[in-house]
């Protein structure tokens, strides 16, 4: 099973929400959908689930028998709350199972599983009006995924969720991807996505600027290498222990004997060691691993425009 997106554009009145999007999203992947506010994440999610008609291009879900290409294929949790305020928690979640035509037995088993997953068992009889924001968000996710879909499209699902519920949901989605499902999660929490997702769809101003493995991106990208260096003595300024070198981008005091060193990407550890004065002893040198957030900020056009004094 895969989703093929071909030259997709969605136009709102006089402007594009997304443009020229082409990618293949394959089963078995947990894909993080990332981009700044207004970059097109929700527009793409809505297009993938068929809520928005392509203005240009098309979307195909392939290798599914046609009878499965309906509501039950996709578990979609939109960004804004769509709930039935007049029903209780259980009835709201059950609606998801009923719309996907699950058999009563299967629906009940799935309901119990999802209530436990999202820690809603004790709230099953509660009216939705009596829930907290995070509880309501969990009901919405529960309703979106209760029917055991083949494709998960969750638009900012962890907003308002506490750490434990976030962790439970993410681990469940990782397992679902490992079992052959396709999971797409949009979020601004890049640390979370780096921890759980495998692939990245990075949108910038409506365009797709990266689609591929997060690990490959972290290995390939970056304008510098950063190291945490510990010396055998305390020094007040970098000139006391380093030889001037054009490959050094920045040296910052971390604490006591420890300094942060940022150098050009081509600098090797051996090169680095030659940058210290002869009499200086380096007791440890640890490379700082790039985070998805750092790489994202270096790639996004909107980064770095604002600095406080």
Task: Compare residues 12 and 86 and give the one whose CB is closer to ligand ATP.
Answer: 12
DSSP-assigned letter for residue 290: P
- Please, what sign has the CA dihedral across residues 74, 75, 80, 86? positive
Phi, psi of 230 (to 5 degrees): -115, 135
Task: Compare residues 124 and 207 and give the one whose CB is closer to ligand ATP.
Answer: 207
- Told to check if 129 binds ligand ATP by CB under 6 A, we report no
- Told to check if 110 binds ligand ATP by CB under 6 A, we report no
- Told to check if 300 binds ligand ATP by CB under 6 A, we report no
Other CB atoms within 10 Å distance of the CB of residue 93: 27
- Told to check if 236 binds ligand ATP by CB under 6 A, we report no
Binding mask 36-75 for ligand ATP (x = CB under 6 A): -xxxxxxx--------------------------------
- What one-character-per-residue DSSP string does 129-153 give? GG--HHHHHHHHHHHHHTT--SEEE
Q: Which residues contact 219 (CB under 8 A, 6 or more apart)?
A: none
The residues with which 225 forms a beta bridge, in sequence order, are 263
Task: Compare residues 38 and 180 and give the one whose CB is closer to ligand ATP.
Answer: 38
Task: Compare residues 17 and 96 and give the one whose CB is closer to ligand ATP.
Answer: 17
Sheet holding 258-263, edge to edge: 248-255, 258-263, 225-231, 282-287
- Told to check if 96 binds ligand ATP by CB under 6 A, we report no
Chain residues 192-231 in contact with ligand ATP, contact rule CB under 6 A: none
- Told to check if 17 binds ligand ATP by CB under 6 A, we report yes
- Told to check if 12 binds ligand ATP by CB under 6 A, we report yes
Q: How many residues bind ligand ATP (CB under 6 A)?
A: 10
Q: How far is CA 8 from the centre of its chain?
A: 21
**Min. distance of Cβ 216 from ligand ATP in angstroms?**
23
Query: Can you give the binding site for ligand ATP, defined by CB under 6 A?
Result: 12, 17, 35, 37-43
């Amino acid at each position: 099973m895969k989703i093929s997106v071909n030259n997709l554009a969605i136009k709102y009145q006089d402007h594009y929400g997304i443009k020229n999007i082409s990618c293949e999203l394959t089963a078995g992947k947990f894909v993080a959908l990332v981009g700044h506010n207004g970059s097109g994440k929700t527009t793409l999610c809505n297009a993938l689930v068929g809520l928005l008609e392509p203005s240009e291009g098309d979307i195909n879900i392939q290798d599914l028998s046609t009878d499965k290409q309906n509501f039950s294929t996709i578990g979609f949790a939109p960004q804004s709350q769509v709930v039935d305020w007049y029903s209780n928690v259980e009835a709201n979640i059950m609606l998801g199972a009923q719309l996907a035509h699950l058999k009563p037995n299967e629906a009940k088993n799935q309901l119990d599983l999802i209530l436990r997953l999202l820690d809603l068992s004790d709230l099953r009889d509660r009216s939705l009006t009596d829930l907290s924001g995070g509880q309501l968000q969990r009901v919405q996710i529960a309703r979106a995924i209760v029917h055991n879909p083949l494709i998960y499209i969750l638009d900012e699902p962890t907003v308002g969720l506490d750490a434990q519920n976030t962790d439970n949901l993410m681990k469940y989605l990782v397992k679902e991807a490992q079992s052959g499902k396709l999971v797409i999660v949009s979020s601004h929490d890049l640390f979370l996505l780096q921890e759980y997702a495998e692939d990245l769809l990075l949108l910038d101003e409506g365009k797709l600027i990266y689609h591929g493995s997060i690990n490959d991106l972290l290995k390939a990208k970056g304008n510098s290498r950063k190291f945490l260096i510990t010396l055998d003595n305390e020094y007040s300024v970098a000139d006391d222990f380093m030889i001037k070198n054009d490959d050094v981008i920045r040296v910052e005091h971390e604490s006591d004997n420890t300094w942060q060193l940022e150098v050009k990407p081509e600098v090797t550890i051996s090169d680095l060691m030659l940058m210290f004065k002869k009499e200086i002893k380096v007791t440890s040198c640890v490379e700082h691993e790039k985070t998805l957030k750092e790489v994202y900020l270096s790639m996004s056009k909107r980064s770095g425009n604002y600095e406080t004094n």
